[in-house]
Amino acid sequence: MTVEELRDRHVQLLRDRRVVDHLDPPAHPGGDTAARYHTWTQVAAEPPSALLARLVDVRVRPAAYRPAHLREQQHTLDALQPEVLHLARTAGWETTIPVLAGVFPTGTLDALSVPVPGRGVLVLVNTSLLDLLGTVLKIMTGALPDYGAPALLSTDQATYALAEAVNAHLYGNGAVQARRLPELSGQRAALVSLMARRGTQFTLAHEVGHVLSGHLRHARRLTDPHTPVGALDAQSVGWPREHEADRVAATIMLRTLDGLGHRELEAHEPYVVGAVLLVLFLHEVTDRLADQLGLTVPFAGNHPPPVRRIQTLVEHLAGHVRTPRALDLAAEVATWLEDRLDGVREWFRLVDDSLLGGSTPGG
Residues 310-341: pLDDT tens digits?
A: 999 999 999 999 998 999 999 999 999 999 99
Work out how many domains the chain is built from and give that number: 1
Classify residue 28: in a domain, yes or no. Answer: no
Classify residue 229: in a domain, yes or no. Answer: yes
> Which residue type sits at 335?
T
Classify residue 210: in a domain, yes or no. Answer: yes
| pTM of structure | 0.93
The low-confidence residues of the chain, meaning pLDDT below 50, are 360, 362-363
Helix, strand, coil abundance in the chain, percent, nearest 5: 60, 10, 30
Classify residue 30: in a domain, yes or no. Answer: no
Classify residue 255: in a domain, yes or no. Answer: yes
Classify residue 361: in a domain, yes or no. Answer: no
Q: What is the pLDDT of residue 362?
A: 46
Peptide bond into 67 cis (omega under 30): no
Give pairs for 75-78: CB < 8 Å, separation 24+: 76/130, 76/200, 77/101, 77/102, 77/103, 77/125, 77/200, 77/204
Q: What is the pLDDT of residue 246?
A: 96
Classify residue 134: in a domain, yes or no. Answer: yes
Which residue(s) pair with 312 in the sheet? none
Cα angle, residue 182 at apex, residues 177 and 187 outer, rounded to 5°? 115
> Which residue type sits at 262?
H
Tens-digit pLDDT profile for residues 89-112:
988 898 889 999 999 999 999 899
**C-beta separation of 20 from 175 below 8 A:** no
**C-beta separation of 6 from 116 below 8 A:** yes
Segments forming the whole domain that contains residue 217: 3-19+60-351
How far does the chain reach from its first CA to its final CA, in angstroms? 53
Question: 186, exposed or middle or buried, with CB in 10 Å at 0-12, 13-18, 19+?
Answer: exposed
Q: What is the pLDDT of residue 29?
A: 56
Classify residue 67: in a domain, yes or no. Answer: yes
Which residue(s) pair with 100 in the sheet? 122
Cα angle, residue 100 at apex, residues 106 and 177 outer, rounded to 5°? 40
